[in-house]
Structures are given as C-alpha cells and as structure tokens.
C-alpha cells in the first residue's frame, strides 16, 4: 500500500494492481520466448544426433582401415553381398553403381553367410543417448584409371575395351561405403529410407594390392616400360619406369623421336615433330652400378582427327542419319557433341552415338546450326570436326476447297506451296480427262468435259530430297449435268461407304442412261477384297475381308458419252 500523511515524508511502495500487471507482463514475455527456446533446443538436439552419426561412421571407417585389404571380404558369401547391394536405399546407389560385389574365396564360406563377418553384411543397430542408429557397411571392388576419360574415378572393371592400353595406369581398390541412419521427423523423406529418418554417407578406398614386403637388399633394376606413345605437335611428358635398383636410378636411351629429350632420371618430354615408330633400347643403372637394358618402342602418332559429314540440309520433322568418323590417335574413340556446359551442339532432335559417331534423330526446329563433334581417344587426346546443318520448314500446301461445276465449265484452282527450299514442282492425280495442272505454277484452268464425282489429289514437291519435301491434299470435285450421262445412284453428294469387316455389304450403281436412250457399260476398279461388281445387275456385293480405306472408281461409258463416280470405301 502507498500511504501519504500531511506534513510527513511520502512512503513509496507497490499497489496490488501494479504487482498483478507486472506478473502478467512477465508471463506474456515467457510465453513469447518459449518457441525460441524450444526451437533452439530442437536444433541443438538435431546437431548432436548428426555429430553422433558422423562419429559412428568414423568408427566404422577406422574399423575398415584397420583391416588388410585382403581381409575386407572375409566371411562374405556372394549371395549375401548381392542381397545387401540390392536392398540398399537410393542415397547410396550412386556409390554402389561403381562397385562390384565380391566374396570370400574360402570355399568354407557359404553363399548366404555374411551377417557374422568382421564387416557384417547386415545392418547394425547402435543406441546413443536413447537414439537408435542403424549402420551398414558396403564393400565392393572397383578400378581407377589414371588416363583417359574420367581419369581418377572409381569404376567397374570394364574390360579390355575400356581399360587404358598401359596396364600400369590401372589401380585396383576395394571401396567401403558407410551408411548411418537415424529417426528424425524433421528430415525430408528419401526414396528407399523409412519416412522421417536422416542419413549420413561416407566412403573410402582401400588398395587391393598385396601387402608390401620390405627388403633392404633391393634386387637389380629391371626396365618395365616397353613402349610409349606421343602425339605429333603436342607437348607431353612421360616417366620411364623400373622395378628394383638401389636409388637413384639413372637412364640412358639409344634414340628418341625428333623433338623429345630425356633427363637422367628417365623423364621424357618435349613436342614431337615427326610421326612414326622409333624402335630402340633403354638402360637403367642403379646406384650400385647394376643395370638392365631392354628394347623399347617410341610411337609418335598424329592427333585424332574427325571426318565430318558434308554440310547438310533437311526439313523439320525429317529423320536424319549422318556419321562422324575419327582417325589417327589411339582408338577406340569416344564421340560427343556437347559444350562444356552440357548443351548439345547438334541441330535440335539429333544425338551422336558415343561409340560409333553416328548422328541420328529427327530434326525439329528450323535454323542454321554449326555442329561440332569431338572424338576422344584412349589417351584422352581429342580431335574436333565441324559441319553446318541447315533445317528448313517442312513443305506445306495451302488449303484447297472442294469444287462443284457444270459440264463444260472451267475448273479454276491455284495450288500454293510453302516452306521447303522454295523450288516447287506441282502434280495432280485423279483429275477428269483433259484437265491438267501447271507443274511450275500450280494453276489449273481447263474445261471439264466428263461428268461425275472425282477425288483429285494435288501434290507440291520442293527441290530438296527428303521426307519433309512433299505435301498433298485431296479434294472432292463434282461435275453436274441435267442432259448428259451421269450416275444417279449412289447420290453424288454422299456416295462414300463404311462397312464392318466380315459383314455382308452391297451397293447399287445406276445412271440416267435409260432416260437418255443410252445403254452404257459400267466397270468398277479398286473394290475392297471380298467385294465384286455384277455388270448385269449393277450391284456391288460380298463380304469384305480386309480392313482399310479403298478408293473405288466406277466408270459408265457409251460410244458418245462417259461419266465417272469416285468414292471412298472404308472397311473397319
């Protein structure tokens, strides 16, 4: 309470209301800071869990490194290893793709054994601070090539076709991959892992070479290098190699290709100037004056070159088959057609076969493309070839309308091509007798002297060969007459027929010949298999046997007159 008496000093204190307000403010402040403290604690726990996983993975790596390379697969059966690799989650699949499943060569180890091996093929569950961690160690074989494309990467043993020619440039390793996973709902779901779990992956390489035996009494030196390959005009350096000898070893050589020199330590360097073979001998001499002389061949080859197809022109939508051919260098070659950023240099829709250099596909986009193909030989030396690929729009034919005219009237049409190279040739089939199209202009301007229904097809072709250089369109042309021979059945306006395969069908053909005092002879061509025309009755009948769309032409003729009926007969 606060009390103030007249004539005396004020006595200060807090009222009950002030105390309650202060407590309320303090409560609000504590409540507002709770998410911060909870979030901070969650992050700390998450980091502690990850550090524990890293420590468990590091312990596993120490276990791996503590074993000899020859002991990593001890107790592993082939079936157990394959099952372990097959069940691996997606996060470790990129590692396993470069590894080959191995097994213990001891015949006493069964194919399904591995769970009790020093490096178990089964998951191991370890609990740290109440969190269960699952640890799996995958072991497999791989090779590292010191030359060629992808040098230094761990790969499957791919065989003689992919190995460097110099076998000393192949290193053999075991690869160990450690996967540690633990439950944590804050981690994103990963394919192949249980939902709400985190993962940590690490790997190491262990040599597959036999364990070294150290001998202070080194044997006499022996020359290992029997051949070396260089490229004319390309600066290079290669070290001659020997086994044994009391170091340092000193080298001499009988002869070197022009442009090359050698240091006493056996390093050959320079820029060769002349292609060819230089068979000679090389001698290595150690500190104790012991020596070995062996034949050696120095080969200087021309750098790879790429013979490209001639400049090409194609229509958009056209299939393409071209070929780049590498020569010189040291084959086989690997072909590519991409920029350093990974973009293709070829016309859109085309790819190059990495093994054969075949350029295939269907071009999609008009334009002019300067296309570059690179051929890389077995020593990583590349040759480049370039050609220009022009893609032009496919040929199109402007729309033509159906026509209906009277007998002896003029048929006036204009076919107009577009796209392609612009050098067009026009043609037409199915026009009435006496009617033609101008091959250069696409114009039709002729009198029609035959009645009936026609289905002429107009075609434009440009001057460039290829599947995209032609376009066609079919129209309906009806030539009417009230006093000349003409078909009256079926109706010229809609004579087309549709029939189900295997179902009987019939169609009666009739003309106005009797009304004109004429006795026309009718013939029919192009009927679907299974249908026939009876000239006496004028009926087409039968059971169609083969699905398709058939162009049927009926012609009625007399000595002085003729009429034509063309229709489409569809068998489904």
Do 145 and 157 form a contact (C-beta atoms < 8 A)?
A: no
Averaged over 32-45, what is the pLDDT? 58
Same domain for 548 and 565, yes or no, is: yes
Same domain for 276 and 402, yes or no, is: no
What is the per-residue pLDDT for 35? 58
Task: Say if residue 38's pLDDT is above 50.
Answer: no
**Which of 269, 298, 327 marks a domain boundary?**
298
Q: Is residue 35 part of a domain?
A: no
What is the per-residue pLDDT for 10? 47
pLDDT band of residue 382 (cuts 50, 70, 90) is very high
Residue range 236-267, pLDDT digits in tens: 999 999 999 888 999 999 999 999 999 999 99
Same domain for 287 and 251, yes or no, is: yes
- Give the Å distances, CA to CA, from 217 to 12, 211, 214, 288, 462: 99, 18, 9, 12, 83
Percent of the chain scoring above 90 in pLDDT: 71
Task: Say if residue 8's pLDDT is above 80.
Answer: no
Query: Where in the sequence is the domain holding 344, given as residue range(s)?
Result: 305-388
Closest by alpha carbon to 449, among 560, 552, 553, 554? 560
Residue range 433-474, pLDDT digits in tens: 999 999 999 999 999 999 999 999 999 999 987 778 999 999
Q: Is residue 469 part of a domain?
A: yes
- Please give the mean pLDDT across all residues of the chain: 89
Residues 6+ apart with CB under 8 A from 139: 64, 72, 73, 76, 81, 102, 119, 174, 175, 176, 177
Residue range 510-554, pLDDT digits in tens: 999 999 999 999 999 999 999 999 999 999 999 999 999 999 999
Task: Say if residue 347's pLDDT is above 90.
Answer: yes
Q: Is residue 178 part of a domain?
A: yes
**Which of 438, 455, 480 marks a domain boundary?**
480
- CA 566 to chain CA centroid, Å, is 49
Residue range 389-440, pLDDT digits in tens: 999 999 999 999 999 999 999 999 999 999 999 999 999 999 999 999 999 9
Identify the H or E element spanning 93. Answer: helix 93-96
What is the per-residue pLDDT for 64? 87
Extended beta strands in 338-469, E state: 350-352, 358-362, 367-376, 382-392, 396-397, 403-406, 410-414, 417-418, 425-429, 443-447, 451-454, 457-461
Q: Is residue 213 part of a domain?
A: no
What is the per-residue pLDDT for 6? 42
Strands 562-571 and 451-454: parallel
Same domain for 329 and 289, yes or no, is: no
Question: What's the CATH number where 343 sits?
Answer: 2.60.40.10
Query: How many structural domains compose the chain?
Result: 5
Same domain for 226 and 371, yes or no, is: no
Same domain for 375 and 404, yes or no, is: no
Quick one: three-class SS letters along 10-55? CECCCCHHHHHHHHHHHHHHHHHHHHHHHHHHHHHHHHHHHHHHHH
Same domain for 401 and 285, yes or no, is: no
- pTM equals 0.57
Count how many Cα atoms sit within 13 Å of the Cα of residue 177 in the half-sphere of its side chain: 24
Task: Say if residue 208's pLDDT is above 60.
Answer: yes
**Which of 298, 321, 352 marks a domain boundary?**
298
What is the per-residue pLDDT for 47? 86
Closest by alpha carbon to 549, among 480, 474, 488? 474
Residues 6+ apart with CB under 8 A from 89: 179, 181, 190, 191, 192, 193, 199
What is the per-residue pLDDT for 168? 75
Same domain for 55 and 157, yes or no, is: yes
Same domain for 403 and 462, yes or no, is: yes
What is the per-residue pLDDT for 41? 54
Q: Which residue has the higher pLDDT, 152 or 160?
A: 152
Residue range 122-145, pLDDT digits in tens: 999 998 888 999 999 999 998 888
Q: Is residue 434 part of a domain?
A: yes
């Amino acid at each position: 309470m606060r009390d103030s008496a007249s004539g005396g000093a004020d006595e200060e204190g807090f009222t009950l209301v002030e105390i309650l307000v202060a407590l309320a403010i303090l409560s609000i402040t504590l409540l507002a800071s709770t998410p911060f403290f909870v979030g901070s604690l969650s992050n700390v726990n998450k980091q502690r869990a990850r550090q524990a996983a890293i420590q468990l993975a590091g312990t596993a790596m120490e276990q791996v490194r503590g074993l000899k390379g020859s002991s990593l697969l001890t107790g592993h059966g082939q079936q157990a290893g394959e099952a372990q690799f097959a069940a691996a989650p997606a996060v470790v699949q990129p590692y396993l793709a470069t590894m080959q499943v191995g097994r213990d060569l001891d015949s006493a180890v069964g194919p399904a054994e591995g769970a009790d091996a020093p490096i178990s093929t089964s998951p191991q569950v370890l609990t740290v601070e109440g969190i269960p961690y699952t640890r799996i160690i995958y072991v497999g074989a791989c090779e590292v090539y010191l030359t060629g494309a992808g040098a230094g990467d761990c790969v499957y043993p791919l065989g003689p076709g992919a190995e460097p020619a110099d076998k000393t440039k192949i290193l053999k390793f075991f690869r160990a991959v450690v996967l540690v996973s633990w439950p944590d709902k804050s981690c994103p779901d990963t394919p192949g892992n249980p939902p709400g779990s985190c993962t940590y992956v690490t790997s190491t390489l262990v040599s597959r070479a036999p364990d070294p035996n150290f001998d202070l009494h080194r044997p006499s030196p022996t020359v290992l290098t029997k051949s070396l390959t260089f490229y004319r005009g390309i600066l290079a350096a290669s070290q001659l190699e020997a086994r044994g000898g009391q170091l340092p070893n000193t080298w001499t050589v009988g002869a070197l290709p022009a442009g090359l020199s050698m240091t006493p330590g056996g390093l050959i360097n320079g820029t060769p100037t002349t292609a060819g073979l230089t068979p000679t001998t090389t001698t290595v001499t150690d500190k104790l004056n012991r020596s070995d002389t062996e034949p050696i061949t120095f080969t200087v080859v021309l750098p790879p070159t790429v013979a490209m197809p001639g400049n090409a022109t194609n229509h958009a939508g056209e299939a393409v088959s071209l070929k780049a051919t590498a020569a010189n260098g040291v084959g086989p070659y690997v072909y590519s057609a991409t920029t350093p950023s990974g973009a293709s240099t070829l016309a859109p829709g085309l790819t190059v076969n990495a093994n054969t250099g075949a350029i295939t596909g269907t071009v999609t986009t008009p334009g002019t493309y300067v296309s570059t193909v690179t051929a890389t030989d077995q020593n990583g030396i590349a040759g480049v070839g370039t050609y220009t690929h022009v893609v032009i729009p496919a040929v199109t034919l402007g729309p033509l309308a159906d026509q209906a005219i009277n007998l002896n009237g003029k048929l006036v049409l204009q076919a107009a091509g577009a796209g392609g190279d612009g050098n067009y040739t026009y043609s037409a089939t199915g026009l009435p007798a006496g009617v033609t199209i101008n091959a250069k202009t696409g114009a039709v301007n002729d009198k029609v002297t035959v009645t009936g229904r026609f289905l002429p097809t107009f075609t434009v072709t440009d001057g460039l060969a290829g599947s995209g250089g032609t376009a066609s369109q079919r129209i309906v042309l009806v030539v009417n007459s009230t006093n000349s021979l003409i078909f009256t059945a079926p109706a010229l306006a809609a004579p087309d027929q549709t029939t189900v395969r295997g179902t009987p069908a019939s169609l009666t053909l009739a003309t106005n010949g009797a009304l004109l005092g004429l006795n026309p002879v009718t013939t029919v061509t192009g009927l679907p298999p299974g249908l026939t025309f009876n000239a006496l009755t004028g009926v087409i009948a039968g059971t169609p046997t083969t699905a398709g769309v058939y162009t049927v032409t009926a012609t009625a003729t007399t000595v002085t007159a003729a009429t034509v009926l063309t229709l489409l007969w569809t068998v489904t």
